[in-house]
Amino acid sequence: MMDGLPVDMVEEDITTELKEFYNVNGLDDVRVIRDRQTKVSRQLGFLRFRDLNQSRAFVERNFPSIYLHGPNPHNDRGTKVRIAYSREREDRARARAEADWTCIMCAIVNYSTRQKCFRCQAPRPGMLLMGTSIRSKLIRTRWRPRRSSWTTGPESR
């Protein structure tokens, strides 16, 4: 994760500077987070590496910050950009929490991870269970190849 990117920097600029000035190896993807409405950079970005070692090497060599110039450098020193490992894991946990379900027997709300109601042991409603598992499968398919470069160990559940 990169925080404090020059606002006018696009993915290509970042890739170029990282390769040129930071000898980055194994860079798989660069993503700048933009405001959904205005499309203006939120000065936040993500780097994805092909494997964990390359990701770790980059962060350990440069932590806690790198300097990027952007297409229109305002000064020679560049802009200080904080780097850190992604919080994707926490974001996923939050996404799961949003899928909490309501017991049809006693109307109590259960955590999304529970398969049975914690109060009356009624099984989780089938529809919701299907929907949730399909969604988590999609997330897993989409993120698994990338996650290995950001996190260590098996996913905790």
Residues found near Zn ion in the complex (CB under 5 A): 103, 105-106, 117, 119-120, 122
Question: Which residue, 84 or 104, is less far from Zn ion as judged by CB?
Answer: 104
Question: Which residue, 84 or 105, is less far from Zn ion as judged by CB?
Answer: 105
SS3 assignment, position 113: coil
User: Using CB atoms within 10 A of its CB, is residue 14 exposed (0-12), middle (13-18) or buried (19+)?
Assistant: buried
Q: What are residue 110's phi and psi, to 5 degrees?
A: -110, 150
Asked if 34 and 42 count as a contact pair (C-beta separation under 8 A), the reply is yes
DSSP state for residue 51 in the 8-state scheme? S
Task: Provide the token pair at 50.
Answer: 């092909």
Question: Which residue, 93 or 99, is less far from Zn ion as judged by CB?
Answer: 99
- Which residues have a Cβ under 8 Å from the Cβ of 131 and sit 6 or more positions away? none
- The distance of closest approach from Cβ of residue 111 to Zn ion in the complex, given in angstroms and rounded to an integer, is 13
- The distance of closest approach from Cβ of residue 105 to Zn ion in the complex, given in angstroms and rounded to an integer, is 4
Helix (H) or strand (E) holding 27: strand 27-34
**Pairwise CA distance, residues 118 & 114, whole Å:** 8
- The distance of closest approach from Cβ of residue 136 to Zn ion in the complex, given in angstroms and rounded to an integer, is 22
- The distance of closest approach from Cβ of residue 101 to Zn ion in the complex, given in angstroms and rounded to an integer, is 10
- The distance of closest approach from Cβ of residue 93 to Zn ion in the complex, given in angstroms and rounded to an integer, is 23
Question: Which residue, 44 or 122, is less far from Zn ion as judged by CB?
Answer: 122
